Amino acid sequence: MNAELSSEELARRIAEIAGAKGAEEIVALDVRGLVGYTDFLLIATARNERQAKAIHEEVYRVMKADGRLPSRTEGEREAEWVLIDYLDCVLHVMTPDTRERFRLEQLWGEAPKVELDVRAAS
Protein backbone atom coordinates (compact mmCIF):
# COMPACT_ATOMS: atom_id res chain seq x y z
CA MET A 1 0.00 0.00 0.00
CA ASN A 2 2.61 2.57 1.05
CA ALA A 3 4.81 1.60 -1.89
CA GLU A 4 2.67 4.08 -3.83
CA LEU A 5 3.72 7.13 -1.77
CA SER A 6 4.92 10.25 -3.54
CA SER A 7 8.43 11.36 -2.61
CA GLU A 8 7.02 14.08 -0.32
CA GLU A 9 4.66 11.61 1.36
CA LEU A 10 7.60 9.24 1.81
CA ALA A 11 9.61 12.01 3.48
CA ARG A 12 6.70 12.78 5.79
CA ARG A 13 6.24 9.09 6.65
CA ILE A 14 9.92 8.63 7.50
CA ALA A 15 9.90 11.84 9.55
CA GLU A 16 6.88 10.57 11.51
CA ILE A 17 8.60 7.27 12.28
CA ALA A 18 11.82 9.02 13.36
CA GLY A 19 9.88 11.53 15.46
CA ALA A 20 7.94 8.78 17.18
CA LYS A 21 11.26 7.22 18.18
CA GLY A 22 12.45 10.49 19.72
CA ALA A 23 14.30 12.17 16.86
CA GLU A 24 14.48 15.93 17.41
CA GLU A 25 14.84 19.00 15.21
CA ILE A 26 13.60 17.14 12.13
CA VAL A 27 14.05 19.20 8.98
CA ALA A 28 12.92 18.25 5.48
CA LEU A 29 14.64 19.91 2.54
CA ASP A 30 13.18 19.78 -0.97
CA VAL A 31 16.23 19.28 -3.19
CA ARG A 32 14.36 18.29 -6.37
CA GLY A 33 15.62 21.34 -8.24
CA LEU A 34 19.18 21.00 -6.96
CA VAL A 35 20.30 17.37 -7.26
CA GLY A 36 19.43 14.35 -9.35
CA TYR A 37 19.91 11.58 -6.80
CA THR A 38 17.02 12.31 -4.40
CA ASP A 39 13.99 14.55 -3.93
CA PHE A 40 14.13 15.16 -0.18
CA LEU A 41 16.77 15.25 2.50
CA LEU A 42 15.58 14.64 6.04
CA ILE A 43 17.90 15.72 8.83
CA ALA A 44 17.21 14.68 12.41
CA THR A 45 19.05 14.83 15.71
CA ALA A 46 19.45 11.87 18.05
CA ARG A 47 20.56 12.61 21.61
CA ASN A 48 23.37 10.04 21.36
CA GLU A 49 24.66 7.12 19.31
CA ARG A 50 22.37 4.63 21.02
CA GLN A 51 19.30 6.64 20.10
CA ALA A 52 20.58 7.11 16.53
CA LYS A 53 20.79 3.33 16.21
CA ALA A 54 17.28 2.95 17.65
CA ILE A 55 15.89 5.50 15.17
CA HIS A 56 17.64 3.71 12.30
CA GLU A 57 16.30 0.34 13.41
CA GLU A 58 12.73 1.65 13.78
CA VAL A 59 12.72 3.41 10.41
CA TYR A 60 14.12 0.26 8.78
CA ARG A 61 11.60 -2.00 10.54
CA VAL A 62 8.50 0.07 9.76
CA MET A 63 9.51 0.86 6.19
CA LYS A 64 10.28 -2.83 5.57
CA ALA A 65 6.80 -3.67 6.87
CA ASP A 66 5.49 -1.05 4.41
CA GLY A 67 7.29 -2.88 1.59
CA ARG A 68 10.32 -0.59 1.24
CA LEU A 69 13.96 -1.40 1.82
CA PRO A 70 16.68 1.26 1.67
CA SER A 71 19.01 1.21 -1.31
CA ARG A 72 21.86 1.73 1.15
CA THR A 73 22.59 2.53 4.77
CA GLU A 74 25.81 4.00 6.13
CA GLY A 75 27.19 4.76 9.56
CA GLU A 76 24.94 2.49 11.60
CA ARG A 77 27.89 0.94 13.43
CA GLU A 78 29.39 4.18 14.80
CA ALA A 79 25.99 5.91 14.74
CA GLU A 80 27.25 9.48 15.03
CA TRP A 81 25.75 9.99 11.58
CA VAL A 82 23.46 7.35 10.13
CA LEU A 83 22.38 7.78 6.51
CA ILE A 84 19.43 5.78 5.22
CA ASP A 85 18.81 6.14 1.48
CA TYR A 86 15.31 5.40 0.20
CA LEU A 87 16.18 6.93 -3.20
CA ASP A 88 13.40 9.55 -3.24
CA CYS A 89 14.24 10.50 0.35
CA VAL A 90 17.52 10.31 2.26
CA LEU A 91 17.40 10.40 6.06
CA HIS A 92 20.38 11.71 8.03
CA VAL A 93 20.25 10.94 11.76
CA MET A 94 23.04 12.76 13.59
CA THR A 95 24.22 13.27 17.13
CA PRO A 96 24.16 16.93 18.23
CA ASP A 97 27.94 17.46 17.84
CA THR A 98 27.97 15.87 14.40
CA ARG A 99 24.99 17.91 13.23
CA GLU A 100 26.62 21.12 14.47
CA ARG A 101 29.93 20.24 12.79
CA PHE A 102 28.52 19.41 9.35
CA ARG A 103 25.64 21.94 9.24
CA LEU A 104 23.75 20.28 6.40
CA GLU A 105 20.93 22.83 6.61
CA GLN A 106 23.43 25.57 5.81
CA LEU A 107 25.13 23.50 3.12
CA TRP A 108 21.71 23.04 1.46
CA GLY A 109 20.53 26.53 2.40
CA GLU A 110 19.03 27.21 -1.04
CA ALA A 111 16.72 24.18 -0.71
CA PRO A 112 13.19 25.03 0.41
CA LYS A 113 12.20 23.62 3.78
CA VAL A 114 9.07 21.51 3.87
CA GLU A 115 6.77 22.09 6.82
CA LEU A 116 6.42 18.90 8.82
CA ASP A 117 3.75 18.31 11.43
CA VAL A 118 5.96 15.94 13.40
CA ARG A 119 6.43 16.21 17.11
CA ALA A 120 9.24 14.35 18.77
CA ALA A 121 8.15 12.00 21.51
CA SER A 122 8.52 13.61 24.91
Domain topology for 2-110? Beta Polymerase; domain 2 (3.30.460)
Sheet arrangement for strand 40-45: 72-74, 81-85, 89-94, 40-45, 24-30, 113-114
- The pLDDT of residue 120 is 44
Residue 79 Rama label (left phi>0; alpha psi -120 to 50; beta): left
Q: Report if pTM > 0.95.
A: no
Domain boundaries of the chain, sorted by first residue:
2-110
Contacts of 79 (CB under 8 A, 6+ apart): 46, 49, 50, 52, 53, 56, 95
Alpha carbon separation from 113 to 40, 51, 122 (Å, rounded): 10, 25, 24
- Interatomic CA distance for residues 111 and 38, integer angstroms: 12
pLDDT-flagged residues of the chain (< 70) = 1-3, 118-122
